[in-house]
Amino acid sequence: MNFQQLRIVREAIRQNFNLTDVASALFTSQPGVSKHIKDLEDELGVEIFTRRGKRLLGLTEPGRELSGVVERILIDTQNLRHIADQFSNRESGNFVIATTHTQARYALPDVIKWFKESYPRVHLALYQGSPKEIVDMLVVGEADVGIATEGLSNEERLAIFPCYHWRHAVIVPQNHPLVKIHAKGKLSLETIAKYPIITYHAGLTGRSHIDESFDRAGLAPDIVLSAIDADVIKTYVALGLGIGLIASMAFDPSQDRDLALLESETLFARNTTLIGVRKGAWLRDYAYAFIEKLVPGLAAINIKETIQPE
């Protein structure tokens, strides 16, 4: 039994049992993948995968049991390397953050700047993706920390920490009729729903709370365009294609001078951005420092107790 065999088992599950994709992900050949699987099954005396000819279809019952053990072994192997790195060189290493565009663009710059000044020898990688992509990176150990509003709380393999709260707001061109309505304190969901709307794509940046608010009010908004980030939304609102619903933090008065931000705290539910860390992961000290900086009052000891319970 060797680590490559275990990696192949894990990757086969990740790649929906497609051996071609497994070979590509692990930079090896498909026949080599098949041989490693057969050798491991012969050594263990059980079949790990169900098959149709040479094609893998899924996991057998013993395969489902083994998959959890394989995942823990590979996680602990990675943890061993991190522990060795921690004590051999405390101030250098690699730190990978997976987050969404909104967080990377509007919420994290000050903390990232502080981190780079405090740990100049640490190579920081900031990956932007969808909540699902962030979860996937965390689960397989490709990211140390994930930051997003959606998706993280649905994954049992992650430890979750509340980061900060925020709300959506309406943006319109400066001369839009809603500016005067808002000034009179009469902005409502019914009024907003009369206009074409540009907002986030489903599953991103609290879009579910927007949909829930309109559903509760019995309204069917005309969402004419959805995007993955606020910059695109603002661009098309400025062109007059509709009114925008964005995270209020994504509005910059100095740069968005052609737009007006209409606060709408009572219209949409509060969103909570979360930090996710894979359970069982071993983080370097600078990773804990980053989380503590991002969430004042959250101590490293509390984080450790959550992700590495006794």
Question: What is the tens place of the pLDDT at every residue in 118-155?
Answer: 999 999 999 999 999 999 999 888 899 999 999 898 89
Q: Which domains does the chain have, with CATH numbers?
A: 3-74 (1.10.10.10), 90-165+272-307 (3.40.190.10), 168-269 (3.40.190.10)
Mean pLDDT (the chain) is 89
pLDDT of residue 16: 86
Tell me the average pLDDT across 30-44.
Answer: 85
Q: What is the DSSP letter of 171?
A: E
pLDDT of residue 248: 93
Coil, strand or helix at 193? coil
Q: Count helices and strands (H / E) in the chain.
A: 13, 12
pLDDT band at 164, cuts 50/70/90? very high
pLDDT of residue 134: 95
Q: Say yes or no to pLDDT of 185 above 60.
A: yes
Q: What is the pTM of this model?
A: 0.71
pLDDT tens by residue, 89-125: 656 688 999 999 999 999 999 999 999 999 999 999 9
**Residue with the larger pLDDT of the pair 152 and 75:** 152
pLDDT tens by residue, 190-227: 999 999 999 999 988 899 999 999 999 999 999 999 99
pLDDT band at 309, cuts 50/70/90? low
Q: Are 98 and 293 in contact (CB under 8 A)?
A: no
φ, ψ of residue 293 in degrees (nearest 5): -65, -40
Residue 176 region, left (φ>0) first, then alpha (ψ -120 to 50), else beta?
Answer: beta
pLDDT of residue 305: 81
pLDDT of residue 90: 58
